[in-house]
Each structure stands twice: as structure tokens, then as C-alpha cells.
Amino acid sequence: MLHGSRIVPVVVIDDAAFAPDLADALAAGGIPCAEITLRTPAALDAIRAVAGRPRFAVGAGTVTTAAQVDASVDAGATYLVSPGFDEAVAERAAHHGVPFIPGVATATEIQRAIAAGLDHLKVFPAAAVGGVPALKAFAGPFPDVRFLPSGGVSAANAADYLALPSVFAVSGSWMVPSTALAARDADTVRALSAAATAAVAASAPTR
């Protein structure tokens, strides 16, 4: 789904024309994917601008309605991410056959997602719900679930999350800061992506 990447950049972009250069910069830094959030009017156009690139997975983030599922898939998103879990969104993603990673924060929400046939879940907001200790606790009763911590994940703690066998990737925006996106600064994105890739290289492999 993510072409092997263990880092998922969370991109809030206002200029769709910069999306191809952004994707090139991420890939050059060793991150072959991006989650473009539906928080700006430019999001769907940005997804379209990079959809279909070989070995680069573009997903839609902040997907909260079935209509947004349709729009994201039409734009070319190859996976969908949500801050929470909603049955209608999950059903619509399944209808399209597109991987869906819903957000969860409690054991009850994890159980609901499992009942819907999902086993790759976003823990959000990861830091606020307990960080690494919370992920360790969730792994006990849910050994077959793999997690994507997001919210409070940074260059300083990404490797700590990735050292957990239950974590398949981490999600964050430290390699795509708003200042760099506003300035169309691909060099900074490339450098931060390369640093992020190097920083997590020593973390234990997912299983």
C-alpha cells in the first residue's frame, strides 16, 4: 500500500501545482508516499497531479464522509485515512476496493474497526492517548492489528514508535512543514525526508 515506506507524510497543501515537485522531493528523500489531507480546496487537485506515478503512493487524509471517499478515489487516491472510525466511510471505501485506515483512540473503537474487517488502524492523536505505552497496551489484546500512530509523532520520537512490532508506519508532518510548502521549497522537503529516513533506519522491522 505504501511501497514499503514506514513514514507517511501528512501534507496540508494550498498550491496543487507544487504537488509534483513535492512528490519528487519526498521520493528523493526515501519516502515514496504522501497523505494529502482534504483540509484545503487544493487537496483533490494535488492528488490528481501526482496520481498514477510509478512507485509513489498518494492517499487522501481527513476523509470523514462517504462523498469524500468517492471524490478521493475519483482523484486517484490509492488509500484513505480518517481521524476517526465511521461505518459509512468504511463501507464506501470497501465498495471501491481502496484500503482504508480509520483513526482509533480506544479499545472499543479498535473492536468496532476489527468487526468491520479492518486490521490496519491509525492511532490518533497518538501522543494524547498515551504514546508508546498506549501502543504497547493495545498490542496485547489485539495481536493481529497493525497501527499507524499519528499526532505528536516527530523526528525525535518516530524511531521509538517504529521499534514496536505492532506499528507498520508512523504518520507526521515534520518533513513537510507549512513554511516549506508555502515557499515551494522542495530542497528543504528533500533534506528533511532524507533525515527522517535515516533516523528510522535502525528501528526494528515491522512484522
Give the active site residue among 35, 87, 91, 109.
35
Q: Cell for 185?
A: 521549497
Q: Which long-range contacts (CB under 8 A, 24 or more apart) does 129-134 make?
A: 129/105, 131/157, 131/161, 132/157, 132/160, 132/161, 132/164
Cis peptide before 133 (omega within 30 of 0): no
Whether 122 is catalytic is yes
Give the active site residue among 91, 109, 122, 136.
122
Q: What is the DSSP letter of 186?
A: H
Q: Cell for 148?
A: 499507524
Whether 87 is catalytic is no
Q: Cell for 138?
A: 493495545
Question: 202 burial class (0-12, 13-18, 19+ CB within 10 angstroms)?
Answer: exposed
Q: Is 97 helix (H, G, I), strand (E, B) or coil?
A: coil
Active site residues: 35, 122
